[in-house]
Amino acid sequence: MPSSPTVSTDPLRNRGTAFTVDERARLGLVGRLPSAVETLDEQAARCYRQISGYATDLQKYTYLDQLHDRNEVLYYKLIVDHLAEMLPIVYDPTIGDAIKQWSNDYRDSRAVYLSIDRPDDVRASFAGLGLGPDDVDLVVVSDAQEILGIGDWGVNGTDISIGKLAVYTAAAGVDPARVVAVNLDVGTDNEVLLNSPEYLGNRHARVTGERYDDFIDLYLKTASELFPNALLHFEDFGPSNARRILEQNRDTYRIFNDDMQGTGAIVMSAVFSALKVTKESFAEQRLLVFGAGTAGTGMADQISAAMIRDGLSEDEAKSRVWLVDVDGLVTDDMTGLPNYQAAYARPASEVADWARADGLIDLLTAVSEVKPTILIGTSTLHNGFPKAVVEALAAGVERPILLPLSNPTERIEVMPADAVSWTQGRALIATGIPVDPVHYNGVDYDIGQANNALLYPGLGLGTIVSGATHVTDGMLLAAAKAVADQVDPTALGASLLPAVDNLRASSATVALAVAKQAIEEGVSTTNHDNLVQAVEDAMWQPVYPEIVE
Ligand SMILES: NC(=O)C1=CN([C@@H]2O[C@H](COP(=O)(O)OP(=O)(O)OC[C@H]3O[C@@H](n4cnc5c(N)ncnc54)[C@H](O)[C@@H]3O)[C@@H](O)[C@H]2O)C=CC1
Ligand SMILES: CC(=O)C(=O)O
Ligand SMILES: [Mg+2]
């Protein structure tokens, strides 16, 4: 029986009870399945009933993970048909809990593990996949130093690469047979993991410096040599590594940092929408970022670039951005500032009169003094925006844009129900996690999800369809506008961003805009007579493919 075990154990080709009587005979599966032959819809209906029976989201995650490893079409059928319900299970926020449990709950994994202690294995690890140079569109890699807002999870962070890829496929139809998830195991500084008998990763501290940089270089060289058409997506690296890797390599490799670029772009979408309500330009904004790491400064970069496009000089744009981090307002007299914060440090002389507590200018003081029009939270500090801060924000401007973006739920700076009530419904809000609408004073406030998952799938698909050699700033902007153009935020309570239910259509629209931009900028390497059709054709659908024996 050479081929039957392969077909029925290959999650990409397995179809379980949907194998027909003929196929069962042909594939040596006679007697290996119950008599009923089901349709994909019938299978999906049973799966939906099964998953609905689990009490916790983590149990649902495990169920879906096992289905993923058994029957990929059925897995995606279930997710695509119930996108808004399933995305929080396979992705943010439940994935954070799954990552914490990963070594304890280890089952099996489709990822490629690259260890910094065995650099000579990198090429062989990819080669073991049996994929040729034209077989891969996308590789998602993480070293798991800053998983969501829950910190360093070492090899446990493997699931973030798998989860991000699942969203690419569910949300934008990126072909699941043409993607690779990678964990870079460079050690961990998480003492709990290092001292847990269950931990499955390298048992040493994170390697830093030249050895780390050499390992990243090796990854980039090998992955791009073996899969020259693939987009190399970086996820949840630590702040200085994330930025350095992107800046040093974006002209050489087709790379994308989701936390900086994807998040920056989805925030741009939310701000585009909010400015339709306030009828202001970017040049008029005052931006305060609370938590100035990878994501926060990525947003500051994109919003200040928008201010410059709106006519400000670079210095004028910088003068409209304030960062608050663990040591309070970032000022130019602070020593040891990382370069991404130093770029936005305020002159100490400018804030000499501002109130200080324990020697630092806290968020409340900064909000009261600056009167920001946009307040972003990427601090990982749950309740980082208490009532006094939100009220100070609302006292400063009529319709403040409030984006508490930290993930997962245990990290969000303020829950929208509180923020809506503390601002009497005036704040224009979007969050990183999915949240239910807020009912306040007779109005339903739909809270858009400003999570990069609402943007990066379409961006990736557009990059793949256009064969873009680079992900340019223009492509990010085109994606951001394409997302924002899908909503009318002007009614009271309207969402700033498209609903997750419409994510597949939204991703197709984003992909088209991105591919057009790539062509316009001359970075596209493909030729399509009809770009709309090319995007549609590129979108993988969860239907059983023809069985190739
Ligand atoms: N909505 C979205 O699409 C995204 C959301 N995020 C979220 O943003 C948060 C930050 O992620 P990264 O930027 O990747 O992490 P990071 O570690 O690069 O940045 C976090 C920053 O917050 C600062 N911080 C920590 N505690 C603080 C406190 N008590 N007060 C003020 N600042 C504090 C840190 O010093 C650091 O500068 C996470 O919760 C993550 O889930 C990140 C990427 C995308
Ligand atoms: C959404 C995401 O990428 C993060 O929280 O890190
Ligand atoms: Mg991330």
Q: Band the pLDDT of 7: cuts 50, 70, 90.
A: confident
- Cα of 353 vs centre of ligand 2, distance in Å, is 37
| 3-class SS letters over 345-412 | CECHHHHCCCCCECCECCHHHHHHHHCCCEEEECCCCCCCCCHHHHHHHHHHCCCCEEEECCCCHHHC
Rounded Cα distance between 264 and 10, Å, is: 37
- Cα of 259 vs centre of ligand 2, distance in Å, is 6
Query: Token pair 């557009």 is at which residue?
Result: 462
Rounded Cα distance between 188 and 143, Å, is: 9
Task: List residues near ligand 1 (CB under 6 A).
Answer: 146, 148-149, 239, 259, 263, 266, 290-296, 325-326, 378-381, 405-407, 411, 432, 450-452
| Percent of the chain at pLDDT exceeding 70 | 99
- The contacts of residue 457 (CB under 8 Å, 6+ apart) are 167, 168, 170, 171, 172, 174, 503, 507, 510
Is 221 marked active-site? no
The pLDDT tens digits of the residues spanning 438-457 come to 999 999 999 999 999 999 99
pTM across the whole model: 0.96
Q: Which ligand is nearest the CA of 238, by number? A: 1
Look up residue 261 and give its DSSP letter. I
Give yes or no for residue 92 CB within 6 A of ligand 2.
Answer: yes
Q: Which two tokens stand for residue 420?
A: 């809506």
The pLDDT tens digits of the residues spanning 288-308 come to 999 999 999 999 999 999 999
Q: Which ligand is nearest the CA of 296, by number? A: 1
Closest protein CA for atom 19 of ligand 1: 293
Closest protein CA for atom 2 of ligand 2: 148
- Cα of 23 vs centre of ligand 3, distance in Å, is 42
Closest protein CA for atom 4 of ligand 2: 148
Quick one: pLDDT at residue 2? 36
Is 276 marked active-site? no
Q: Which ligand is nearest the CA of 239, by number? A: 1
Closest protein CA for atom 23 of ligand 1: 291
Q: Which ligand is nearest the CA of 497, by number? A: 1
| 282 contacts 471 by C-beta, under 8 angstroms | no
- Cα of 144 vs centre of ligand 3, distance in Å, is 9
Strand, coil or helix: what is 161? helix
Question: Which atom in ligand 1 lies closest to the alpha carbon of residue 239?
Answer: 18
Look up residue 528 and give its DSSP letter. -
Q: Which residues pair with 324 in a beta bridge?
A: 290, 329
Which residue out of 97, 164, 259 has the highest number of ligand 1 atoms within 8 Å of its CB and is therefore the one to mutate?
259
- Cα of 350 vs centre of ligand 3, distance in Å, is 34
Q: Which amino acid is at 50?
A: Q
| Percent of the chain at pLDDT exceeding 90 | 96
Catalytic residue among 76, 91, 113, 456: 91
Question: Which atom in ligand 2 lies closest to the alpha carbon of residue 408?
Answer: 5
- Cα of 256 vs centre of ligand 3, distance in Å, is 12
The pLDDT tens digits of the residues spanning 77-115 come to 999 999 999 999 999 999 999 999 999 999 888 899 999
Q: Band the pLDDT of 546: cuts 50, 70, 90.
A: confident
| 76 contacts 67 by C-beta, under 8 angstroms | no
- Cα of 296 vs centre of ligand 1, distance in Å, is 7
| 168 contacts 460 by C-beta, under 8 angstroms | yes
Which residue out of 90, 146, 407 has the highest number of ligand 2 atoms within 8 Å of its CB and is therefore the one to mutate?
407
The pLDDT mean for the chain works out to: 96
Neighbours of 247 (CB within 10 A): 13
Quick one: pLDDT at residue 545? 87
The arithmetic mean of pLDDT across residues 358-374, rounded, is 97
Q: Which two tokens stand for residue 494?
A: 């309207």
Which residue out of 237, 340, 378 has the highest number of ligand 1 atoms within 8 Å of its CB and is therefore the one to mutate?
378
